Structure 1
């Protein structure tokens, strides 16, 4: 995500490396490179110029303190301007109404239906809501089936009328269903087209007028660049939507849409979505995104994802087992599964300050843990609970069952034992094991 832009900005800041002070010449050179980086990232030239003009004005108006270099000062100024460009602060959904109606709009292929499922899961698990998904896309083949599959995966009901070709009626009936059966959020997945056309706009406008949603979210494919911004303008003129959702941020996107869409339509980005997994939905925080673009990492989001997977009771049990030197393969497998739920491994590593650049060219597969899990799954329950039982003959059997070489099992066993020894040493440090507990 934004890897190319991050590299270009880093290169621009190097123009100030070794400089003792800010000058009109070195600022002009740096700003020129920043502008080129933004334009290459598919930012509209006019917006890129306005952005860099503000950066230049601020840089020339600052005095460099002895504690920081001109390069550090420029990074801070650019970060502040990026935050401003992307909306300053996060914007939460308006969920006060009962039921709250949320209308999902956007072009076909933007990821509306998948986002609808992710949003339902987000509201159910993180906001303690009882959502109802509504299949109001009456044109796309299998749209209803797709939404039902997603609803089934997260345990959320889907309202549909397969024989009804009137999207307005479907949406109205769904709201009545929600009121009658205690659903406090209604998420209406509407139809899209391959391009903006009058028929689509009229239909989604009619649905909006009929159900009067508290939120209208425009879903946009981040990979479409400036086209996304132009589409957002067209939808906003007809729907006056309340927020934007950026999907496919894990794709090969140059980032221009994410940077300028709020500036262009004056509506906040409320969510960003990556991948197909239904728990990969994040609230959009402009400052955190700016930090990631500038290679500063995003440790806050990393900690929040970890806290969502590790609860207090689990942490206490794990701490007790570590203190008693009883950490086993079942515990290890459980930790792997929780880490996998946090999202893409490469994305997680990129949130750690200073690590993003180191892993950007590495091919880190989300299947990296499969070999380890295969080895653990080939063990008997007794072996998983008591690693010391596993001798040479058992290792051969485990390797065969996992489809691995005996060397793979030996290496894993060695690494696991090293980890146990490290945990054992931590037990000797006052409060050491407690440091593992999620706070």
Structure 2
């Protein structure tokens, strides 16, 4: 459902640390006017009465795995971007560990071509670094590509960069944001061998955070931070999972001035090792979900700004793949549809304000990656926005899960808040569990 003019009336607008009641006029995909009261300017304007609802900027998810090309039995850009808009995520940055890997400019542009035809949400992609593709890295246009992704610990689709000389050369040679997955490979291998000797392939899932341990995370992330300080590289550490790693990051300077940033993912804020007994491999992620103490420390660091961004690390697998013994069950799970509702649960519990949720999920990804004219409800910006009914309970079940894989670690959970409308570049693309067959998505651009 796409019209040139949209008027959202009586919304509680959450933006830049404040909540205020007002109207928003959208024209040709841009926020044209934001004021206490705006009257319809033309007869054909599409009017939405948002009384009692909250209007948030569209969420920017800086870390997703949409599995295309090559792993499309799990997910596609089309299916997962569709699930994303149901979750209020209007822009995503997708990772390079597809099949083939996105480690050449040619493969990168092929993914952009797929997204241009099929994506429901605005899109960009990370370029993948390897032990031997520095020449390709140097060809990446920073205005057109989100950044560089390095796996400093092997995960799904092994792209491990483990040559110290290569790492230093990459850190020294690029101005791109370098986003890293930090787990020390040798520590994980040693731990896996130890428990495989005891249990064979059927290692108890509760040992996952012991195998992919606090030490594995800290060794790798501390080395990455030290290298960034040595080379002056712009480093972003993905999916922090331990209290110990938080000492590596600061809240003493504004985000715009930080050279080293970090994020936390929904699952590390929600689950703990106590949940493995019930959820099993459904909550097997890399890095692993760890202790309740780690979870609480991560939340505290999110609130005091040592952690800058909330992301999903959405990484679907089929339920058949997940339903395996420990060593054969892949890590990762689907999250884009339920990330914002999960954070709104924390709001209801009094743990975080709506303003802080918007800061960490909308404003800060835009600042960190220098996304052009998105992440805010601001005149002149692209009109990506989400209407939320803060008191409209719903339960996650098979009938309303939008992921291609058909399952969610939140299945059976009841959320108090519902995303009622999602607008991408001014067009209504989703309303109350109904999708509109409108592809309003655009390729993200960057102010660099």
TM-score with structure 1 length normalisation?
0.30
Higher radius of gyration, 1 or 2? 1
**Bigger RCO of structures 1 and 2 (CA < 8 A, at least 6 apart):** 2
**Greater share of residues in strand:** 2
**Greater share of residues in helix:** 1
